[in-house]
Amino acid sequence: MLILLPPSEGKRAPRRGRPLDLDTLAFPGLRLHRGEVLDALLALCTTAEPAYAAQVLGLGTTQVGEVARNAALPTAPTARADTVYSGVLYEALDLGSLDAAARRRATSWLAVTSGLFGLLRPSDRVPAYRLSGDVALPGIGTVSTYWSRRLDPAVREAAGRGLVVDLRSSTYASFWRPSADLARRVVTVRVLHESGGTRKVVSHFNKATKGRLVRSLLADGGAPGSPARFADHLTALGWKVEEGPAGGHGTRLDVVVGEL
């Protein structure tokens, strides 16, 4: 089973650790492409005026310091990606508190889409960086479009013959779309908050629930091989799940929650 996650815009900068080495990252077929994106990001952040670079990166006036952080990426300390990403989903997932067997599953089941690195495993050592998928990076173009033309072999390698559980946000979903032959093995998950008889998508519930859902899957260890079996599996784990029709991007499941 492959579980695709979005990255976290918020990141925890490592205080110590060896510098970035692209040759050590998972999915070595992406090495050249990672180097191209990194070079373009460094060129922007080391040669352009910080205010302009911040504007290109979609940063506010209080975030201009992120430009200097990007400029120092070649020598910045690294840590495991699952400790660098610090957003709501990753806080709810809390991989470090799982038992050893669940953490081993995380290493082989989870893959994170990344504007800078394309696709990462949780154990890959990366620095804190700032590059959203919707940025138009000089020399590269829109980051999501760049990766959408290059990620399919890596995703197929990671998925093997198993189910692909796609939990990415809309920006990062565009990094990779399944072709028809793989879509039947893809499940997308939408989280709905139900209150007073009304259902709606709420960002915080969505992210936290996806983190908790992945945590329960890793702790359980079951790996169903079809969308229908996956829906049944989530139900058995205590989730309220409604299966939708199959589509071009996979079968959508609605996970309905009332409270965090």
In the predicted model, is pLDDT for residue 156 greater than 70? yes
Task: Identify the weakest region by mean pLDDT among 86-100, 156-170, 183-197.
Answer: 183-197
In the predicted model, is pLDDT for residue 260 greater than 70? no
In the predicted model, is pLDDT for residue 141 greater than 70? yes
Q: What is the mean pLDDT of residues 16-38?
A: 98
What's the pLDDT tens digit per position in 222-244? 999 999 999 999 999 999 999 98
Instruction: Kindly tell me the burial class for residue 16, based on how many C-beta atoms sit within 10 Å of its own C-beta (0-12, 13-18, 19 or more).
Output: exposed
Confidence of residue 199 (pLDDT cuts 50, 70, 90): confident
Q: What is the mean pLDDT of residues 4-31?
A: 96
> What is the b/e burial string over 159-198, where b = at least 16 CB atoms within 10 angstroms of the residue's CB?
beeebbbbbbbebbbbbbbbeeeebebbbbbebbbeeeee
Q: What is the mean pLDDT of residues 165-182?
A: 95
Q: What is the mean pLDDT of residues 18-37?
A: 98
In the predicted model, is pLDDT for residue 259 greater than 80? no
**Can you give the pTM of this predicted structure?**
0.95
In the predicted model, is pLDDT for residue 197 greater than 80? no
What's the pLDDT tens digit per position in 112-125? 999 999 999 999 99
What's the pLDDT tens digit per position in 45-96? 999 999 999 999 999 988 999 999 999 999 999 999 999 999 999 999 999 9
Share of the chain above pLDDT 70, in %: 100
